[in-house]
Each structure stands twice: as C-alpha cells, then as structure tokens.
Amino acid sequence: MNLEYLDKFKNEFSEYTELRYQKNNNVRLSLLNGDVISNIRNSSSGISARVYAGGVWGFSSDPETGETNVSNVIRAATENARFLDSRENRHAMPLIYGSAEGYHDFSSKRKKASPKEIIGFLKEIDAYLLKKYPDLTARSVTMSNLDMEKALLTSEGSRAYSLIPRSLLIISLTLDKGGGPVDLYDVFGGFGQYEDQFGIAEDFYESLDLFYERLREKSAGIYPDAGEHDVILDADLAGILAHEAIGHTTEADIVLGGSIAGEYLNKQVASPLINLVDFAHTARGQQCPVPVYVDDEGTEA
C-alpha cells in the first residue's frame, strides 16, 4: 500500500487522527538432517485509526483495507473518542505535536530468489556440515524472512512509509556427549531481504567452523556448582539484562499506566556505570537492525 491511497481519506479526519496501515510477510523454510520439514508463507495486514478528543483516545481497526473499511475505521475511532470525552469531561489541553515525512523502502533491488533456490542454499549449508562434521547427531537449518511494511498519515501532516526487511539463517547443532545430547544454536544475517544477505553458501563456511568449535567446547564443559557466586558478565549479556530490567519498566506509557517502576519516575534506578541509549536508526555510524525514522505517532526519530 502506498501513501497516496491513505491520502484519499484525509478529508474524513475531524479530530486529531492517526491512520496506520501495516503488513507483515513471513517466510520460514526449515531442514532437519537434510530433509525439508517446514515451508511456510503467510501474510497478515490491517488498517487502524487512533483519534484524540478532549484528553481521551478512541481506537478502531480492521484486517480489511478496502475504501469502505478504512472510512468505517476512521468514523468508529472518532465516535469512540467523542463518546469517552462526553463521559470523562477532562477538558484537557490540546496535544503538542509536530509533523514528519519519510520514505524508506529497503526491499532488495536484486532478482527475487525462488523457494527452490532458498532451499538449495539451505541444503548446501547442511551438506557442508554433514560432510565436515559427521559426529553431529542432529542438524537443523532454517531460513526466516520477515518484511514489515508500514504506512502512516496524520491529520497534522505526518506522512511516512517504510518497508523494513529481516532475514535470518538459524543453525542448531547437536553432539552426543556420553550422558546425553549437547546442543547449540546461532543466528546469522539480519537487516535486509534474502537476496542481500545470502545466496552463496561458501561465504558462511568459516562462521560455521567457528560455531562448531563453540559446540565442541560446550560439550567439554562442566555443570556449575549450585549457590551464590561472583561472576563477570559479558557486555552483551549485561546489556540484555539491563534492557529487560530497566528499559521496559521505564517506558513512558507503561509507567503512566501503572508500572512497578512508577515510584522511581525521575529518579536514578541503576549504577551510573550502566548506560542505556535508545538508538532509533543509527548507532556508531551504522544502521540499526530495525531502524525507525518516523514512529507510529508521526514523530521524527
């Protein structure tokens, strides 16, 4: 869907309104020990509208995106907002808003790969593992592709379109270590469609060799002793834990809605040695894995 389609409905906005469209295309192909066990393609989409009136919000959505459906969604969201406003009587100040525009289509410019070609790539990866590491007791090779398409139009002039693709090669290997199996998985790829991330299996052989060595090291490891211990956390793990413990609980809408961290609003919640930075689209000179240039409310990131 393009922005020109959403533009048709701007005259139907009578309050502050956000009109959104989103479509997710998913492809997942999986091999287990060389056999194709999964070949799934699905697509989900819909339209939604959020309307502000007097300090309250009205919302409506529809999985169908025809012109009648879009008009009905706008009307329902507006009616919901006005109904709540008539009951709440908050007489709130008008919203402080801005406007932003953005068009970011990151779909591949290369020739689209067929399912047969993708399966062929996965089979090459699996064949390499089977030949070089015959001691593996199980091999799982999966390709997961997600294309997330969004379009946004607001009553105050924000217009944004984005197609953000992600392609992941997921490998899971298993070794038998006497008393039982030891497995390990890793993920390769990231931002971009399959055509931009993959295609030549040989490019991943060195990474697969290193991955196998990590599995061997894990199989030779010992179980930790129970109890309390002083440990040094790798920066990646520490960052994940800080994100879960602090990041989610201090998101503005969650705090205002009753987060357990609400009483710590505007207070220090962690050691000054811990820094959390929310990068929207660029970090350290590189594009983020899921870049956001204009958010779902029409604010430039």
pTM, entire model: 0.83
Q: How confident is the model at residue 300 (pLDDT cuts 50, 70, 90)?
A: confident
Could you give the percent of the chain with pLDDT greater than 70? 94
Q: Which of 49-58, 146-155, 252-261 has the lowest mean pLDDT?
A: 252-261
CATH 3.40.50.720 fits 3-220+271-287, yes or no: no
Average pLDDT, the chain: 90
Q: How confident is the model at residue 271 (pLDDT cuts 50, 70, 90)?
A: confident
pLDDT digits 0-9 by tens, 82-123 = 999 999 888 787 777 788 999 999 999 999 999 999 999 999
pLDDT digits 0-9 by tens, 40-51 = 999 999 999 999
Residue 215 has pLDDT above 90, yes or no: yes
Match 């300090």 to its residue by tokens. Answer: 55
Going by C-alpha positions, the residue among 24, 27, 40 that lies closest to residue 144 is: 27
**Can you tell me the mean pLDDT for 1-24?**
93
Residue 195 has pLDDT above 90, yes or no: yes
Domain locations along the chain: 3-220+271-287
How high is the pLDDT of residue 94? 78
How high is the pLDDT of residue 177? 82
Q: What angle do CA 166, 172, 174 make, to 5 degrees?
A: 175
